[in-house]
Amino acid sequence: MSASVESTVCDSFGNPVDIMESRAEEAARLLSALGQTKRLMVLCRLVDNEMSVGALAEAVGLGQSALSQHLARLRDLGIVATRREAQTIYYRLASDNARRLIGLLYELYCAPAAQKTG
């Protein structure tokens, strides 16, 4: 009679390492998308509401061509989604993980308390 004992390797927080490894690529893609200043500003603008390409371009100070390249990358990564109304395309944040991460970044860098301690 032999019992099979599975040993799971965990990190210092008790999380299984194999789960972390399987999600590391996804996390790296999100962090890479946030690592470019203008893309980060686009995502910050989309946290609370959707915006048209024209409104986004004006809000972040980019031409529509440059903005379209950033939005295409974010769309390919599944971070933003679109909807069309007549000739206007609206973008919205589609990733809950991105929304949560941007919220944390806001708390750390943009909230009034963060500006005092910065």
pLDDT of residue 61: 96
CATH of 17-117, one of 3.40.395.10, 1.10.10.10, 3.90.79.10, 3.40.710.10: 1.10.10.10
Predicted pLDDT of residue 2: 45
Residue 3: per-residue pLDDT = 45
pLDDT beneath 70: ranges in the chain? 1-8, 17, 113-118
- Written as one string, the DSSP assignment of the chain is ---------B-TTS-BHHHHHHHHHHHHHHHHHHTSHHHHHHHHHHSSS-EEHHHHHHHHT--HHHHHHHHHHHHHTTSEEEEEETTEEEEEE--HHHHHHHHHHHHHHTSHHHHHH-
pLDDT, position 25: 86
